[in-house]
Structure 1
Amino acid sequence: MDNVDNLFNPSLAAALIKLDAEDGEQIMEYFKTQALLMKEKALLQASVRDQRKLLVENGKLKKDIELLRTQLQDKQRRRTAKALLSPPVSPAPTTPVVNQPAGATAAVSTNPPPASSHDRRERQSRRKRGGERKARPTSDSFSLGAEPRIDVSRLDLRVGRILSVRRHPLAEAMSVQEVEVGENAPRTVVSKLGEKTHLEELQGGLAVLLCNVKACKLRGVVSQARLLCCSTPDDCTELLTPPTGSTPGDRVTFLNYPGDPDRELQSKERVWELLQADLQVNSRGVANYKGCGFEVKGKGLCRTPSLTNAVIR
């Protein structure tokens, strides 16, 4: 910024005008314009840095909230278990009635008269009602915040290299790929890529895979992951492409949604189905979830070769 301010030095302006009276003023105007542009660029870069810092802090706050919610649920479970396991309060023993002789003194009968059976039943019913009133709010509060989070951080997305591609032996519309995802052995993936896809062009290329789906058998072949692709209504299909420099096994993450993925997605929770509506490719061909790009840290964003404004499946 000091170099920018030096461009407005009066001695420099006087020297330029002295050297060339006609063009000196135009040169100074050019310098002033460039200086203003440099200042605006510096301010813009500072604003971008602040925005990134806020996004990181926002992610940390979300983690803290999740931790506090888990701790609250644990406390509520312990309180509920304690209320259910505590023994009921037994009624106080009553003093038996002793038949006294007619001439006994009044000092001998100082004990209070025994409670009637009606009074005992009423006290016991009050105790029961009081126990229910104490236990009920605890059991209701047990369900507070019980719903698990549903966002894209639960997906285990990785970069993979397609080692081989072949047609499915029992389904012409399907294909079988062997894909390296940074593990000891490649994974077998069964996909339905569309009739317009040239399978031979996929071999050796990089793709994005969903790796924590439950392995399932599709027409006799076990599929161990899911290839992510985008498609349009006219049946044009393309695989998502990781950024240049990616290697098999690289994680695909989301700046606004930090967190570790599930070990395995449970089919009953339908996490993938619930997230699909927000997985899209925008007008620039960038894959995103609710506007947050698919990112391989330090290498860039995941894109499609040519399709735009398409859905990811």
Structure 2
Amino acid sequence: MDKGDEIFNSGLAAALMKLDPEDGAQIMDYIKTHALLSREKQLLQSSVREQKKLLVENAKLKKDIEDLRGQLQDKQRRRLAKALYSPAPPPQQTSPASSSDSPANPLEASPVNHGARRRRGERRVQTGSEPLLGAEPRLDVSRLDLRVGRVLSARSHAHSLSIQEVDVGEPAPRTVVSKLGPNVDLDQLPGAMVVLICNVKACKLRGVVSRARLVCCGQSKDCVELLAPPPGSAPGDRVTFLNFPGEADKELQSKERVLERLLPDLSVDSKGVAQYQGCGFEVKGKGLCRAPTLTGCAIR
């Protein structure tokens, strides 16, 4: 409160006391309180206006920053496009004098800048974190998608082939075209539990598309048995290998000949257990896959 306000208040108080000696003091207190509340209200309104003004200015600054950022990104893209599509500089002609100054040892030459941008049409340079061209991919039994299945039906087909409908835990059964040999009784197959390779490439055999391959074992093509999963197995159970935990391929590529290269290491041991390089075909928590009667034979 400044000096002028004090003089005004003292004069007003004196006038009120003359007019109403009893309540003049209370009226004066009321006036002072009302004046203070009005002043505080004005200050609050002023601060709210300042706050709104600041919010508007902040929003404008944010928009300006976004516009500048967009302009900067556009400039960077134009600069990159110019660097990628600009023609390569013509090769410099090396004079005999300058060639004599070049180092005799090529290792002493300045290193190539592998971080330079690639121009259009140039081949990408391999880095250490990428697989090298021609590197041999992983080759072991974990690349096979081996699953347990239940034969729903079996019937003869042309040229000593047979057709099985097999439940492998999918919404629809898979059709499998097989050449099982004369000793396999097709009438006994429905309901049998078998092991299939489910990521072989689908192929048409005598007019029927085969979408999996039954795993068999035998001494010859005339003496064949279907590999049997352990008791308690269910359609769709995965057959895995303790020493080979890799992920199966989505589909085996014909050009890689994965299955053909693995077959020599697939066999049934002297106890009838199917194994790959000494590691058994296992359904986790249920046991090992076996040949029903044969031992010491190949898997095919």
* TM-score grouping bracket, smaller chain normalisation: 0.5 to 0.7
2:173 aligned with 1:166, yes or no?
no
CA 1:86–1:252 in structure 2 vs 1: closer, same or farther (change >3 Å)?
A: farther
**Structure number with higher helix proportion:** 1
* CA distance in 2: counterparts of 1:185 and 1:198, whole angstroms: 25
2:201 aligned with 1:214, yes or no?
yes
Corresponding residue SS for 1:185 = coil
**Gap regions ≥5 residues in structure 2:** 1-84, 115-124
Aligned residue runs from structure 1 range 133-172, under 5 A: 143=132, 146-168=135-157, 170-171=158-159
User: Rg bigger for which structure?
Assistant: 2
2:231 aligned with 1:244, yes or no?
yes
Corresponding residue SS for 1:232 = strand
* CA distance in 1: counterparts of 2:94 and 2:293, whole angstroms: 87
Correspondence for 1:285 among 272, 285, 294: 272
> Could you tell me how far 1:164 is from its partner in structure 2?
0.1
* CA distance in 2: counterparts of 1:214 and 1:233, whole angstroms: 25
Corresponding residue SS for 2:231 = coil
What code does the residue aligned with 2:140 have? D
Corresponding residue SS for 1:298 = coil
The percentage of aligned residue pairs carrying the same residue is 61
Corresponding residue SS for 1:161 = strand
2:211 aligned with 1:224, yes or no?
yes
What code does the residue aligned with 1:152 have? V
What code does the residue aligned with 1:162 have? V
Task: Write out per-residue CA displacement over residues 102-123 of structure 1, whole angstroms, 9 at most, x where no aligned residue.
Answer: xxxxxxxxxxxxxx97357638
Counterpart for residue 175 of structure 2? 188
Preserved CA contact (<8 Å) 1:91 1:124 = no
Preserved CA contact (<8 Å) 1:239 1:304 = yes
CA 1:253–1:117 in structure 2 vs 1: closer, same or farther (change >3 Å)?
A: closer
CA 1:184–1:91 in structure 2 vs 1: closer, same or farther (change >3 Å)?
A: closer
Counterpart for residue 293 of structure 2? 306
Correspondence for 2:163 among 168, 176, 184: 176
> Could you tell me how far 1:197 is from its partner in structure 2?
1.1
Corresponding residue SS for 1:159 = strand
Preserved CA contact (<8 Å) 2:181 2:221 = no
Counterpart for residue 67 of structure 2? none
Counterpart for residue 122 of structure 1? 99
Structure 1 length normalisation: TM-score?
A: 0.57
> Could you tell me how far 1:221 is from its partner in structure 2?
0.6
* CA distance in 2: counterparts of 1:244 and 1:153, whole angstroms: 22
Which aligned segments of 4 or more residues in structure 1 are displaced greater than 6 angstroms? 85-92, 123-126, 131-135, 138-142
* CA distance in 1: counterparts of 2:207 and 2:263, whole angstroms: 26
Task: Write out per-residue CA displacement over residues 267-289 of structure 1, whole angstroms, 9 at most, x where no aligned residue.
Answer: 00000000000000011100000
* CA distance in 2: counterparts of 1:125 and 1:272, whole angstroms: 54
Corresponding residue SS for 1:272 = helix
* CA distance in 1: counterparts of 2:259 and 2:142, whole angstroms: 11
- Count of residues in correspondence between the two structures: 201
Counterpart for residue 17 of structure 2? none
CA 1:119–1:213 in structure 2 vs 1: closer, same or farther (change >3 Å)?
A: same
Preserved CA contact (<8 Å) 2:199 2:252 = yes
Preserved CA contact (<8 Å) 2:271 2:295 = yes
> Could you tell me how far 1:260 is from its partner in structure 2?
1.0
